[in-house]
Amino acid sequence: MPNDPVTTDSGRDALAKSEEYLRAAATVPLEAHAREFDGLMRVSKFHPIETETEMLEVGVGTGWFPVTCASQGLRCSGLEVNPIYAEHARRLAGQYGVDVVIHEGSIEDYPLSHESYDIIFATSVFEHVKRYEEGLRNVYQALRPGGAFYFYSTNRFSLRSGEYPSLPLYGWLPDRVRYRLRVWRQGKAIMDSGGIDFNQFTYWQLKGLFHRIGFSRSLDMIEFLDEDNVVVPRVWKTYVLRILKAVSPLRSAARTFASGNCFICVK
């Protein structure tokens, strides 16, 4: 009989890391996520967000996003692979007096209902999904025709990665080298707790993948942003956006070396 993952040393370490993360997150009020929430709501440019719009967040973490949606009268359920996070999200919903449905499972194989969502969000999730292409195909089939998918994940060629910011060019390392480095520095639990980045994506890799899966459009941040929907507008941001839209070599360089890959894909 296989060991219960929670009773193994690795499982206990993973559990401890999850609980430590949630203790810190519990001190952060929903209002602190307002700017990030507004950024995600930019998807409304491609699909209207109304009280009847069915939304799903893949990888809810603490649950702040679906709970914020519910507090504003919007429908957003969640899918979370870590049962500890899923339960925390339910408790958070209770604290704010709202109802949120949190499914437990992996986007790789969870049986999402066919064509049941208008918008699906996945931010800082798919780098941790080992069979990421299967997960993306699951997202696609779960979207209704004309539905939108907001995707944010790693960029392999970023000069500094959020996955391991203390090491420049971390994402450039071969996968096996990255895995060994993280286990050496953080212990074997990193491979079981969802903390390891199985994948470091490139812009061009994702662009081609979204097309093969069947999305009719996949727009990166340079394409879907305009002067009216830049979160916290600044004059310099406006000028940078204009230059990137106008100058092809700079646009290609920005896509190659950006800190992350952000897309809105339309089915």
Q: pLDDT tier at 239 (50, 70, 90 boundaries)?
A: confident
The pLDDT tens digits of the residues spanning 52-65 come to 999 999 999 999 99
Of 10-14, 104-108, 182-186, where does mean pLDDT reach its minimum? 10-14
Give the pLDDT confidence score for residue 7 in this predicted structure.
46
The pLDDT tens digits of the residues spanning 245-261 come to 999 999 999 999 999 99
Q: What is the mean pLDDT of the chain?
A: 90
Q: Look up the CATH architecture of domain 9-221+259-266.
A: 3-Layer(aba) Sandwich (3.40)
Q: pLDDT tier at 130 (50, 70, 90 boundaries)?
A: very high
Structure tokens at 218: 């996949």
Query: For the residues of the chain, what is the DSSP string, one character each?
Result: -PPPTTTSHHHHHHHHHHHHHHHHHTTS-GGGGHHHHHHHGGGGGTS---TT-EEEEES-TTSHHHHHHHHTT-EEEEEES-HHHHHHHHHHHHHTT----EEES-TTT--PPTT-EEEEEEES-GGG-TTHHHHHHHHHHHEEEEEEEEEEE--TT-SS-TTSTTSTTGGGS-HHHHHHHHHHHH-GGGGTSS-S------HHHHHHHHHHHT-SEEEEHHHH--TTS-SS--HHHHHHHHHHHH-HHHHHHHHHH-SSEEEEEE-
Residue pair 29/93 in contact (Cβ under 8 Å)? The answer is no
Q: pLDDT tier at 29 (50, 70, 90 boundaries)?
A: confident
Give the pLDDT confidence score for residue 16 in this predicted structure.
59
